[in-house]
Structure 1
């Protein structure tokens, strides 16, 4: 069947779409086959039809069956590819009406077709504005895309409400459209009004997005916002107010923390006020230590305060099994950072705690003690415990590796791990720590050289990095032929980072051997 015959067939099928014909006296009597044929005809005419056929599609827009009306909208949208005046004219008569259809699928097809046909005018704009409140989020998206294509804001208040939409694709488009018209006084006024007195998620989102230099302008409404019924709003308000150094603002934040019941908001207030050294939060932080969400922030706040009372509360939390694991882990970190006389002995047993987050906190706490400088009688016990923890592969290898950095008492055990550990990560971590040590031995250099031929990429990479460090420090001005040959092979490795590191090392060795000015 040729194109003209197909078009004629589709037109014939669409004649049954006339709502005044006898076949529609009882739409429920329509056979499923008739329905499918009419819908297929509308779609097909849009696919192969010409501009003059847009009118036939428009006449079928009153079909009582939603599937046919949706097909009409789809067909009109497909005709948009022709770019002829007759198509938008026909679409403009029916698509705004279909955008108000009771069936969401019809509304969706009609709104897309209106965008494709680039329809303009007040009727189309109003139809898109009405869809801003549609329960179907796809239609809210189409409405925003349609207004954007028209270059208008439509209903500014509705746009501002959509900033609080739960769908990211909706509120993102709404904010983009408002930002596009940010110089419009009506838009600026509505955004500021929403920031001051909007409801729930919309106000919270606007407060997150507005530039920080708006905070002073909003100060009065922000202070009252600390008591807003919405936890989202209180969170957004607190984020802004924590940037201010005013004593009155600080007083308001402390009072807000005193009455706060939401753990997310309380955690934010604890973190911010603790960071600023606000000692009035000590008792309030203790109150939140048992909360699964805010407990971590409470422990961190006490750590930032660093007072004797605050550290004593952290010490108690370490051994209190009723305290959540996340809180105990954070407390372990802060006890290490505080560096009191018994910190090492409190943390070492926690390396065997059943809770993974507690063990991680103990490792980080011990790492903080290593970094700040252990007492000489603490160095060996810490080295032995951390290297044993590294060898156990129980937790994150690189966390333990970082904690050991700079602890020379661990070097003998690290050399054994570099030679004997079954885990490639443990061998790689051991080589990394040997390279970072203060002294280098011929045996360590040989370990790096052997590591170039290891089966595991991590070990080969750390071996190259170890050799590179000693070349950079002038310890290895040259490499023997066998090592150079291995490095040359590594420059063709499948690992990009390994190829790059080996190439840079060979270049560094060659540069170090170049004659200096004045040399023969």
Structure 2
């Protein structure tokens, strides 16, 4: 059947009584019909059956004749049937309809019960560059469907210089419904915070925990004694662990003993406990450290809280911190083990006592070799521990796990070329290891080797013989499938070419 026969068939079917045939005919005419048939579909849009009206809207969108749809589609966008509204609004978008009538039609759909229709309304208004009804548009920031509030947010951002839109966003940030208020607070630039200050302070008592978190976050940019006092007062009466965790993180400050009480209150809460432990670490007094010690020894406390306490103990650096942390490396909770590693890393960073160096070196290196899945965390803790270099060099040459080799190579970078454990001989051998690492079969190892090699070159170290072979290898790696490796190799090549670098 040729196109003309198909068109004639569809036109006959549209005049028939069978609903399903009229539906199929309207859709089919939209596929094979000509421009003049758009007006036939416009007449069909008055069919008493919703499915036929829907099919007529689909056909109009397909035929692409705006003049035929500019009157009928706005009417169909107000149809009682949601599928008709959905297809008509989509057709209006495809046809690029514009004018006051289509704007009003899209605006009415902003609060449609069907979320697909709300999405179409936002897409249509975005194409037209207008907000429709400003209050309804901004209220969609609280829409339960992510696709709706995301598009609403995008449109509001595009229209952010519109005075009416800006005023409505500010009003919503002050007193809107919870979900919309939260989004409005994130949309407004920092310079608006002062205008919102009274409502933000009142928002610390809002019934919604999510609103309280949002207003507290907004207040984090205001560093005045009055705001800090207001946040501390809110923390004293707060009942939500999530809000308390946020307030503790905002208020943590070295030496502030007034935070010991609130932190103690939340220390064993599974949600707020880690923040409470970090806060006590910042306070860093005898009382605070004793509380942290009690937490790491209490296996009934959730692992993340014990982990945060362990890290805080390492950061506080008391005389027994290392001996408190070492046993935790054998704790059955992997979170606690990680916290102990982080705590030991903090102690290493601050500077270990002479008698602490070897025990810490031994346990961290053993863990690095035995636990490939945590190699990067353990390796980070070893930074600045020259006693570990001899063993790390052996691991770089012999470790089976790629994660371990990659972590070790990242540690063979210059801090002090003539420092303990480095030496000129060690430096040359480390650079040779890095060059060999570029040939490793595993991408993480090659990447780590390239990063470390670039640091050596920037440090001013002269490469050992074989510079041309290195250039060739780097040239090959410059086309490696890994984007990050290509970027690292480019940095190495740049360092080699830098006139201020090695000759």
- What's the TM-score once normalised by structure 1's chain length? 0.86
Aligned with 1:374: secondary structure? coil
Q: Deviations over 1:464-511 (max 9, x none)?
A: 566655555555x45334x75366345314464475466457657997
**Residue 96 of structure 1, CA deviation:** 2.5
Q: Determine the C-alpha separation between the residues in 2 that align with 1:421 and 1:386.
A: 15
Q: Determine the C-alpha separation between the residues in 2 that align with 1:238 and 1:511.
A: 49
Change (3 A) 1:35 1:238: same
Q: Determine the C-alpha separation between the residues in 2 that align with 1:505 and 1:185.
A: 52
1:375 maps to which of 343, 348, 353: 353
Q: Residue 26 of structure 1 aligns with which residue?
A: none
Change (3 A) 1:492 1:178: closer
Matched, 1:44 2:22: no
What aligned pairs does 1:38-117 form with structure 2 within 5 A after superposition?
38-80=22-64, 82=65, 85=67, 87-88=68-69, 91-92=70-71, 94-117=72-95
Is 1:478–1:509's contact at 8 Å kept on the other side of the alignment? no
Matched, 1:485 2:469: yes
Is 2:82–2:114's contact at 8 Å kept on the other side of the alignment? yes
Change (3 A) 1:183 1:467: closer
Q: Deviations over 1:359-404 (max 9, x none)?
A: 1111111111111111111111100110011011254211111111
Q: Determine the C-alpha separation between the residues in 1 that align with 2:81 and 2:255.
A: 59
Matched, 1:201 2:179: yes
- How many residue pairs match? The answer is 489
Change (3 A) 1:68 1:381: same
2:122 maps to which of 133, 140, 144: 144
Q: Residue 263 of structure 1 aligns with which residue?
A: 241
Q: Determine the C-alpha separation between the residues in 2 that align with 1:315 and 1:465.
A: 39
Q: Determine the C-alpha separation between the residues in 2 that align with 1:485 and 1:320.
A: 57
Is 1:472–1:508's contact at 8 Å kept on the other side of the alignment? no
Change (3 A) 1:132 1:279: farther
Unaligned runs of 5+ residues in structure 1 are: 17-22, 24-33, 514-520
**Residue 291 of structure 1, CA deviation:** 2.2
Q: Determine the C-alpha separation between the residues in 1 that align with 2:111 and 2:27.
A: 28
Aligned with 1:354: secondary structure? coil
Q: Residue 143 of structure 2 aligns with which residue?
A: 165
* Higher deviation after alignment, 147-156 or 160-169: 147-156
Q: Determine the C-alpha separation between the residues in 2 that align with 1:385 and 1:6.
A: 81
> If you compute each CA radius of gyration, which structure gives the higher value, 1 or 2?
1
Matched, 1:403 2:381: yes
Q: Deviations over 1:224-276 (max 9, x none)?
A: 11111122211111112232233332222122112222222211111001148
What aligned pairs does 1:358-373 form with structure 2 within 5 A after superposition?
358-373=336-351
Change (3 A) 1:119 1:504: closer
Change (3 A) 1:316 1:478: closer
Q: Determine the C-alpha separation between the residues in 2 that align with 1:468 and 1:162.
A: 50
Change (3 A) 1:392 1:51: same
What aligned pairs does 1:325-344 form with structure 2 within 5 A after superposition?
325-344=303-322
Q: Residue 4 of structure 2 aligns with which residue?
A: 4
Change (3 A) 1:462 1:281: closer
Q: Deviations over 1:193-240 (max 9, x none)?
A: 211111110111111111111111111111111111122211111112
Q: Determine the C-alpha separation between the residues in 2 that align with 1:95 and 1:234.
A: 44
Q: Determine the C-alpha separation between the residues in 1 that align with 2:453 and 2:121.
A: 61
Q: Determine the C-alpha separation between the residues in 1 that align with 2:7 and 2:214.
A: 59
Aligned with 1:51: secondary structure? coil
Q: Residue 186 of structure 1 aligns with which residue?
A: 164
* Higher deviation after alignment, 502-511 or 60-69: 502-511
What aligned pairs does 1:425-440 form with structure 2 within 5 A after superposition?
425-436=403-414, 438=419, 439-440=422-423
Change (3 A) 1:359 1:186: same
Q: Deviations over 1:304-354 (max 9, x none)?
A: 222222222112111111211111111111111111111101111111222
Aligned with 1:69: secondary structure? helix
Q: Determine the C-alpha separation between the residues in 2 that align with 1:508 and 1:267.
A: 48
Unaligned runs of 5+ residues in structure 2 are: none
Q: Residue 350 of structure 1 aligns with which residue?
A: 328
Q: Determine the C-alpha separation between the residues in 2 that align with 1:208 and 1:452.
A: 45
Change (3 A) 1:487 1:392: farther
CA RMSD of the aligned region, Å?
A: 2.7
- What's the TM-score once normalised by structure 2's chain length? 0.88
Change (3 A) 1:458 1:135: same
